[in-house]
Amino acid sequence: MPTGIKTSKGNVAYLTEEGELIVPVTAPKRFQYARGGWSIWQILAELDAPLKAWERYAYAENLAPANHSKFCKGTASQGDGFVFCVDCGRYQEK
């Protein structure tokens, strides 16, 4: 399991066993995805989030390589059994 993003103040963002992203209100602003920080997908990538977290938060599951380049300039990254893109928030199980 990912342990979360650590700073000098300790863990500030982490995933539960169910793949739920927890960001305490005391976390630095970049982790506050709902308040102008990183995108939730950047945080998932930073946490090396498992597939079940992407299933919960992704925009869609349709990251077929041939289609992806038509609507997104981002690059797909490799997850554990899936690929994902932090730019468009899509993923594809392999």
- Which residues of this protein are in contact with Zn ion, per CB under 5 A? 72, 74, 85, 87-88
Tell me the closest approach of the beta carbon of residue 13 to Zn ion, in angstroms: 22
User: Residue 29 or 73: which CB sits closer to Zn ion?
Assistant: 73
3-state secondary structure of 57: helix
User: Residue 7 or 62: which CB sits closer to Zn ion?
Assistant: 62
The answer to whether residues 21 and 13 touch, using CB atoms and an 8 Å cutoff, is: yes
Residue 37 CA to residue 43 CA, distance in Å, equals: 10
Sequence-separated contacts (24+) of 63-66 with Cβ below 8 Å: 63/90, 63/91, 63/92, 64/92
User: Residue 45 or 72: which CB sits closer to Zn ion?
Assistant: 72
Tell me the closest approach of the beta carbon of residue 18 to Zn ion, in angstroms: 25
Tell me the closest approach of the beta carbon of residue 90 to Zn ion, in angstroms: 6
